[in-house]
Chain A
Amino acid sequence: MSLNAVIAANRFGLGARPGELAQIARDPKAWLLSQVGQSQSTNMLSDGLLSSAQAFEALQSYQEARAAQRRTEASPNPAVNAEERVRLADLVGQTTGREIEARIQHAVTTQAPFAERWVQFWSNHFTMAVRNLQTTPFPGSFEREAIRPHVWGRFEDLLVKADTHVGMLIYLDQAQSIGPNSQAAQTQQGRRRAAGLNENLAREILELHTLGADGGYSQTDVTEFARALTGWTVAGPRLRRLAQGSRVGTTIFVSELHEPGARSILGKNFPAAGERQALDILAHLARQPSVAKRIAFKVAQHFVADDPPPALVARLEASFRQSSGDLSALAKTLIQSPEAWAPETRKFKTPNDFLISTMRASGANTTSTQALRATFEQLGQTPWRAPSPKGWPDVASEWAAPDAILKRIDWANLAADVIGETFQPIAFAESALGPALTDKTRTAISRAQTARQGIVLALMSPEFQRR
Chain B
Amino acid sequence: MTNRRTLLTAGLSGLSLAMLGGTASFAQAATTSGKFVFIILRGAMDGLTAVVPYGDPNYRSFRGAIALDGPGGPNGTLPLVDGFGLHPALKEMHGLWQTGQMSFMHAAASPYRERSHFDAQDLLEAGTAQLTSARSGWLNRALAMLPNGPSQEGVAIGRTIPLVLRGPARATSWAPPLAPESDGDTLARLSDLYAGDAMLSNALAMAIETDKIADGGTMLSGNAGRGRQGVFAPLASAAARILAAPGGPAGAVLSFEGWDTHANQGGAQGQLANRLDALDTAVKALREGLGPVWANTTVVIATEFGRTVRINGTGGTDHGTGGVSFLLGGAVKGGKMLGDWPGLSRLYEDRDLVPANDVRQLFAQGLTNAWGLDRQAVLSRVFTT
Contacts and interface: CB of A to CB of B under 8 A. Distances in A.
Contacts of A417: 159-160
A453 interface: yes
A414 B185 contact: no
Given A403-B210, A405-B207, A406-B207, A451 B121 contact: yes
A441 interface: yes
A179 to B, nearest CB: 50
Interface string A213-244: 00000000000000000000000000000000
A441 B186 contact: no
A384 to B, nearest CB: 25
A461 B193 contact: yes
Given A421-B160, A462-B193, A449 B258 contact: yes
Given A406-B211, A410-B182, A400 B189 contact: no
Interface string B203-222: 11111001100000000000
B189 A457 contact: yes
Interface string B270-297: 0000000000000000000000000000
B199 A448 contact: no
Closest CB pairs A-B (n = 8): A449-B43, A402-B207, A402-B206, A449-B260, A409-B182, A406-B207, A451-B118, A462-B197
Given A440-B193, A449-B259, A462-B196, A456 B186 contact: yes
Given A402-B204, A449-B185, A418 B160 contact: yes
Interface in A401-427: 401-406, 409-410, 412-414, 417-418, 420-421, 424-425
Given A448-B189, A449-B42, 19 more contacts: A400-B199, A400-B200, A400-B203, A402-B203, A405-B203, A405-B207, A406-B207, A409-B187, A410-B179, A410-B180, A417-B160, A420-B160, A449-B43, A449-B257, A450-B118, A453-B185, A453-B186, A453-B257, A460-B190
B82 interface: no
Interface string A425-464: 1000000000000001100101111110110110011100
A444 B42 contact: no
Contacts of A12: none
A80 interface: no
* Residue among A404, A409, A414, A450 with most chain B CB within 10 A: A450
A449 B179 CA distance: 21
A161 to B, nearest CB: 37
Interface string B157-189: 001100000000000000000011110011101
Interface of A: 348, 396, 400-406, 409-410, 412-414, 417-418, 420-421, 424-425, 440-441, 444, 446-451, 453-454, 456-457, 460-462, 465-466
A465 B187 CA distance: 15
Interface residues of B, number: 37
A445 to B, nearest CB: 9
B182 A401 contact: no
Nearest to B180: A413
Given A406-B211, A409-B190, A462-B196, A450 B117 contact: yes
Contacts of B259: 449
B194 interface: yes
Contacts of A348: 199
Interface in B234-251: none
Contacts, number: 99
Contacts of A440: 193, 196
B385 interface: no
Contacts of A457: 186, 189-190, 193
A418 B159 CA distance: 9
B116 interface: yes
A412 B189 CA distance: 14
A406 B43 CA distance: 23
Contacts of B349: none
A395 to B, nearest CB: 11
Contacts of A466: 197
A405 B211 CA distance: 12
A410 B193 contact: no
A410 B199 contact: no
A413 B182 contact: yes
Contacts of B44: 449
Given A449-B43, A451-B118, A401 B192 contact: no
Contacts of A410: 179-182
B102 to A, nearest CB: 26
B182 A441 contact: no
Contacts of A462: 193-194, 196-197, 200
Contacts of A409: 182, 186-187, 190
B376 to A, nearest CB: 33
A444 B192 contact: yes
Contacts of B187: 409
Nearest to B185: A449
A450 B190 contact: no
Contacts of B117: 447-451, 454
Given A402-B207, A414-B159, A440-B193, A450 B42 contact: yes
* Residue among A396, A402, A424, A440 with most chain B CB within 10 A: A402
A465 B199 CA distance: 11
A30 to B, nearest CB: 32
Interface in B1-60: 42-44
A50 B118 CA distance: 47
Given A413-B182, A462-B193, A450 B257 contact: yes
B190 A401 contact: no
A410 B43 CA distance: 20
A465 B196 CA distance: 14
A440 B189 CA distance: 11
